[in-house]
Amino acid sequence: MCDRILRKCRIQNQLVRECLAECLGVYILILFGCGSVAQVTTTRNQKGEYLSINLGFALGVTLGVYVSRGVSGAHLNPAVSLSLCALGRHSWFKLPFYIFFQLLGAFLAAATVALQYYGEHSHKYINMALLLLSSYSGGELTVSGPNATAGIFCTFPDEYLSLLGGFIDQVIGTAALLLCILALGDSGQGSIPEGVQPVLVGAVVMVIGVSMGSNSGYALNPARDFGPRLFTYIAGWGVDVFTAGGGWWWVPLVAPCVGALLGTLVYELMIEVHHDPEDANDLCNMCSSCSLFCLFLFRQRYMWLFK
């Protein structure tokens, strides 16, 4: 009986199945990642510290990959999907669908984290204001200041960081992320057991966090930042989540995509293209992929020449 019902629930469309897997994978990532930030923030470091946040996101990525990899490949990041499309390893047609469901998963996870702090008297506050978070910040949902809570869900630059510095920071961090991810999935580097790869991807996120996280929170992922940011805008933090940090909101959207393409290009040109192919066809396909990728980047950078 149960098997019959489950078979009827099976979605036949492959793209829909992949999108749902991406949504759930990102949901797991943000649930544990932002959940760890919420616990550290609301307890004023009494039940966790910065390393707890690094672990939360690292393990969130690992478990999110385990959840979705068998269906969608576990991109969990629009920048990763974009880079794979540029390499010819993912369909451009699927890209907007993947991005939408990645954003949806992040939005729903942020709402779930907020729900955990939703109190019975929270109707006193505007737009779903959260009782505990409001109490923590003096009765208001704040974006900046010592008691700010918007940073639980999305990233903001430190006071000393300029927009240009933050942009460069995100480019470097995401380039490192993609470079390492491609290395982990490169059969020319030697075989890695499939069950171990998600753990190593989580380790990459962990090491980026402990080495590059202080400037702006190492978003590295447009969905990870914009989905929760959109939630905070709706839930009561208001337009300040888009104006704070000198209009920071667009940096975690654009810079990770640039960094992902840069990291992919560096790995392809310096490592993967130099593998000894098993046959001439492999070499031809690899060189063709790299050439198309270089052409794509050139046209994006110098598009004005073609107008």
Average pLDDT over residues 284-294: 53
Rounded CA separation 233/304 (Å): 35
In the chain, the percentage of residues whose pLDDT exceeds 90 is 64
| 207 Cβ contact partners less than 8 Å away, ≥ 6 residues apart | none
pLDDT score recorded for residue 129 = 39
pLDDT score recorded for residue 299 = 59
Smallest CA-to-CA distance from 297 within 25, 40, 86, 45 is with 86
pLDDT score recorded for residue 128 = 39
Average pLDDT over residues 200-215: 95
- 83/289: higher pLDDT: 83
Q: Output the average pLDDT for the chain.
A: 85
Rounded CA separation 114/78 (Å): 24
pLDDT score recorded for residue 120 = 42
Exposure class string for 244-256: b at 16+ Cβ within 10 A, else e: bbeebbebbbebb
pLDDT-derived band at 45, boundaries 50, 70, 90? confident
pLDDT score recorded for residue 18 = 96
- 28/297: higher pLDDT: 28
| Region of 136 on the Ramachandran plot (φ > 0 left; ψ -120 to 50 alpha; else beta) | alpha
Average pLDDT over residues 37-62: 92
Rounded to 5 degrees, what angle do the CA atoms 22, 106, 121 make? 140
Rounded CA separation 109/268 (Å): 34
pLDDT-derived band at 10, boundaries 50, 70, 90? confident
pLDDT-derived band at 276, boundaries 50, 70, 90? confident
Contact 164, 216 (CB under 8 A): no
Average pLDDT over residues 202-231: 95
Residue 67, Cβ neighbours under 10 Å: how many? Answer: 21
Tens digit of each residue's pLDDT (9 = 90 or more) over 64-83: 999 999 999 999 999 999 99
Contact 103, 109 (CB under 8 A): no
Tens digit of each residue's pLDDT (9 = 90 or more) over 152-187: 999 999 989 999 999 999 999 999 999 999 999 888
In the chain, the percentage of residues whose pLDDT exceeds 70 is 82
Torsion angle defined by CA atoms of residues 254, 52, 34 and 19, in that order, rounded to the nearest 10 degrees: 70
pLDDT-derived band at 281, boundaries 50, 70, 90? very low
pLDDT-derived band at 279, boundaries 50, 70, 90? very low
pLDDT score recorded for residue 125 = 35
Amino acid at 118: Y
- 146/12: higher pLDDT: 12
pLDDT score recorded for residue 123 = 41
Average pLDDT over residues 39-51: 89
| 237 Cβ contact partners less than 8 Å away, ≥ 6 residues apart | 141, 142, 143, 149, 150
Residue 53, Cβ neighbours under 10 Å: how many? Answer: 23
Amino acid at 223: A
pLDDT score recorded for residue 122 = 42
Rounded CA separation 259/120 (Å): 44
- 47/62: higher pLDDT: 62
Q: Which domains can be identified in the chain, with CATH numbers?
A: 13-275 (1.20.1080.10)
Contact 138, 222 (CB under 8 A): no
Rounded CA separation 66/80 (Å): 16
Is the predicted pLDDT of residue 219 greater than 50, yes or no? yes
Within the chain, where are the H helices?
2-9, 14-42, 50-72, 78-86, 95-115, 131-136, 163-184, 197-212, 222-232, 240-247, 251-270, 280-301
Tokens at residue 91, please?
A: 């369909």
Which letter does DSSP use for residue 224 in this model? H
Is the predicted pLDDT of residue 16 greater than 80, yes or no? yes
Is the predicted pLDDT of residue 118 greater than 90, yes or no? no
